[in-house]
Chain A
Amino acid sequence: MTIVLPSLETVVVISAFALIYMLVLLRKTMQGKFDLYDFLMLSMVAIIPAGFALFPSLAYLVSHLTGVVFPFVVMFGALFLVVFAFMHNMTARLHKLERQNCALIQEQSLMALELQAKERGRSGG
């Protein structure tokens, strides 16, 4: 098996992207816009390509172990896996929030109704 090493330009570009992107994510996490889970999942978009670019022999080993000819395919497979895991959890969280939102709106309207009735009762008697 011939190991084709990435060029220096490729390594620099991918590493720079990974670094900048992770710094942006870190900043947003510190600001409270993401939690640690979001930070980890989103940073995989930077970590996985950087890992493949910086450690090509490891990338070839992984592709050999998984029976895939090109490390490139393994990298995209890993990225898709992370994205789908993230989307799966995000969808579940969204639906939970939706249900909670619905229940809160219902509760608010019923409590307002009860309050109205109490006020009416107080003013009536």
Chain B
Amino acid sequence: MRQDLRGQGGVANRELDSTGMCGADAPSGSAPRILLVIPCFNEADSIGNLLSEVAATGCDYHTLVVDDGSSDATSAVASRSSPVARLAQNLGIGGAVQTGIKYAARQDFDFCIQIDGDGQHDPRAIATLLNAYSKDPANITIGSRFIDNAGFCSTRMRRAGIRLIVLALNGLFAGGRITDPTSGMRLLDRSAIAFFAKSYPTDFPEPISLAWAMRAGLTVNEVPVEMRPRETGVSSIDGLKSASYMIRVLGYILLARLVRAP
């Protein structure tokens, strides 16, 4: 894991290992520069462990923790081992992720990989995304919980909701074969980075960003990953909120089919 920024000696020059476990071929053929964007909101209890796990992978990932206006010690904990972009106000997951994507675009990274700061995503699975990209390059590669259904527990209602979003996305957009549109673990290549740096949804960003991307002709691929239960905190989409979430997401997806992203 590298902490320094580009222009300050931060070019990752580690060559890909033969198994491809740490990276994929960069478009230029040289070692790819990979940025891990970790959006966080009050994740002081889990972010330290997550960054240690990233470091333990032994790969030359650059990390950027985006502290989305936390009121706890998230920034202080994260800044011990990673650059931290502190947002002055809570912008929500969409605003936080886009901050990281803008950073990736400006610092000329080859790949931008989003992982959650709550410890649900195993950093070792990043290599799986990169390997999938090497074999079948797509602009967006999603780490899916539902291809193998391994290690992910959720309520029946939530899974039914996700299935409905999947139906809408795959039905409305050509080439759609998505199983996990709400996954927060995804790899973006240069085209996707450039696209999302310009416009990224603030509300319910994961499924809607896919709709926007597919509408713009970007390709999406999926690879199975295991997800762990959250270390801390609770999901923000529960109870009655999930019904409202569903209606709004489906509306946005339909809208994306009709009109291009702003």
Contacts and interface: CB of A to CB of B under 8 A. Distances in A.
Interface of B: 4-5, 7-8, 64, 66, 83-89, 91, 95, 98-99, 102-103, 106, 202
B5 A105 contact: no
Given A102-B91, A102-B95, A102-B202, A109 B85 contact: yes
A109 B5 contact: no
29 contacts: A98-B202, A101-B89, A102-B91, A102-B202, A105-B88, A105-B91, A106-B91, A106-B95, A106-B98, A108-B88, A109-B85, A109-B86, A109-B99, A110-B85, A110-B99, A112-B85, A112-B86, A113-B5, A113-B83, A113-B85, A113-B103, A114-B5, A116-B83, A117-B4, A117-B5, A117-B7, A117-B8, A120-B4, A120-B8
Interface residues of A, number: 16
Contact of A121 (B8, B83, B86, B91): B8
Nearest to A117: B5
Given A114-B5, A117-B8, 15 more contacts: A102-B91, A105-B89, A106-B87, A106-B98, A108-B88, A109-B87, A109-B88, A109-B99, A110-B99, A112-B85, A116-B83, A117-B4, A117-B83, A121-B7, A121-B8
A124 B64 CA distance: 21
A102 B98 CA distance: 10
A117 B102 CA distance: 17
Nearest to A116: B83
Contacts of A117: 4-5, 7-8, 83
B83 A106 contact: no
A106 B5 contact: no
Contact of A106 (B4, B7, B64, B102): B102
A100 B173 CA distance: 30
